[in-house]
Structures are given as C-alpha cells and as structure tokens.
Amino acid sequence: MTAPTATAAPGARLLNPTDHLLVLIDFQSQMAFATHSIPAIELRNNASLVAQAAAGFKVPTILTTVAEKSFSGPMFDEVTAPFGGQKMLDRTSMNTWEDAAVITEVNRIAKKRIVLAGLWTSVCIVGPALSALDQGFEVYVITDACGDVSTEAHERAVERMVQAGAQPITSLQYLLELQRDWARGETYELTTGIAKKVGGAYGIGVTYAKTMFGAHEG
C-alpha cells in the first residue's frame, strides 16, 4: 500500500481562533457548591484559563447563566472579567440550546463548531452538546473546565458526549491549540502570559526558563 503524502499543514479537526464559538455555561455559586468531581480551586483556575484564552484570541463567546438572580448566583469573576462587562444571557432552561436568546446569538455568530465548558457536565453541558450535534454542529467539550456532583456523573457524561460525536479537550490544550506555532509573535506574549498565571506546572516552567535563561520557545 502506498503511503500518503505528508504536507506541513494543520489537521482539519484542530481549532483556531476564528472557526468556533465558545459557550461558557453556569459557572455560578450554587452550581459550584455541589460540584465534587474536581476541586473548586482547580475548576476556577481552568475556567479562568479558558476565558482568558478566548478573550485574548478574540474568540466569539457566549456567557450564559441559569436563574442568576433567583437561585444560582453570579458567574465567577475570573470567567467574566476577561470579557470586559459583556452581557450574560440568563435562562430558565437547564439545556442552553433550548433558550431562544442563546440560539439567536449562536445564529448571529454563525460558526459550525461549538466549544462548551461549564457546570454541571451531566446536565448543562450534555444538553447543548447533544442538541448541537443533532443539528449538524461539531462539538468540543473542555472537560477539565467542567464539573459535576460526582466523578461518576462527570465521567459518564463525557463518555455519553464522546459516543455521540463530541471531541474532548482540556483547558491548557485549548490555549495551546489556539496559538499552535510559537512563531506567531503577535500572540506569543499573550499565550505565555496566560500560562504563567494559570497554566499550573507548565506555567512555572515557562517563568523559570525565561527568568533563568531568557528562554524563548520560538
């Protein structure tokens, strides 16, 4: 069998800043209180990384809450702050995809790829993921920027979405996939700056290398 011819080009399934819509769902106090599949500190850190990456790379983003005033409380500051006071769409439906205002915005932005993160995985992420897939969208789920009432609930939800066709990714992967080439100087400092602040051990390594050796990935 003849081997295919390789070309220096990215795969079609890789994300870039202009080919998708990010929807950040229900990062709210009441939802976080019952989240046990991931520590709250880690969840908030990962959500912050995703929000900073999306805002920095100018990814079109929807911020949506459920029953903000009457029950669930405000969205995490670290999620909203990078978007500079952008209006949040508050819903009554647990499934974001059943909210008319959200769908109006989805259609206005008009991207074939939907990237999701939020609380809880088995309800507020599964709902829009399966609904968007049914309507012909490609769906990506940032699994470590999601959480649920138990590890079991989170894992089964991720499995269910993957079996339906969703693609799981992680928060740091999301950031680095948007950058993807250290020669892209216009977003180099943005990417390494986010990594240093909320990129965990990788960010510590970036800080160390730059401080000790003046290192530069490019």
| Residue pLDDT, tens place only, 111-149 | 999 999 999 999 999 999 999 999 999 999 999 999 999
Position 89 scores a pLDDT of 97
pLDDT of residue 54: 98
Cβ atoms 37, 131 nearer than 8 A: no
The 3-state secondary structure of the chain, one letter per residue: CCCCCCCCCCCCCCCCCCCEEEEEECCEHHHHHCCCCCCHHHHHHHHHHHHHHHHHCCCCEEEEEECHHHHHCCECHHHHHHHCCCCCEEECCCCHHHCHHHHHHHHHHCCCEEEEEEECHHHHHHHHHHHHHHCCCEEEEEEEEEECCCHHHHHHHHHHHHHHCCEEECHHHHHHHHHCCCCCHHHHHHHHHHHHHHCHHHHHHHHHHHHHHCCCCC
pLDDT of residue 139: 98
* 213 vs 13: CA distance, rounded Å: 35
Q: What is the pLDDT of residues 47-89, one digit of tens each?
A: 999 999 999 999 999 999 997 777 788 999 999 999 998 999 9
Indicate the average pLDDT of the chain. Answer: 94
In a 13 Å sphere around the CA of 173, the CA atoms on its Cβ side amount to 13
Query: Would you state the pLDDT for residue 67?
Result: 78
Q: How many angstroms separate the CA atoms of 15 and 60, rounded? A: 13
What does the block give as tokens for 139? Answer: 């769906």
Rg of the chain on CA atoms, in Å? 18
**pTM, two decimal places:** 0.94
Question: Could you state, in order of their start, the residue ranges of all structural domains in the chain?
Answer: 20-180, 181-218
The number of angstroms, rounded, from the C-alpha of 80 to the middle of its chain's C-alpha atoms is 13
Q: pLDDT for 148-173, tens place per residue? A: 999 999 999 999 999 999 999 999 99
Share of the chain above pLDDT 70, in %: 98
- Give the mean pLDDT of 89-100: 97
CATH classification of 20-180, choosing from 3.90.1150.10, 3.40.50.300, 3.40.50.850, 3.40.50.700? 3.40.50.850
| Parallel/antiparallel/unpaired status of strands 113-119 and 20-25 | parallel
Classify strands 138-147 and 61-66 as parallel, antiparallel or unpaired. Answer: unpaired
- Report whether 113 contacts 15 (CB < 8 A): yes
pLDDT at 210: 75
The whole-angstrom separation of Cα 27 and Cα 118 is: 6
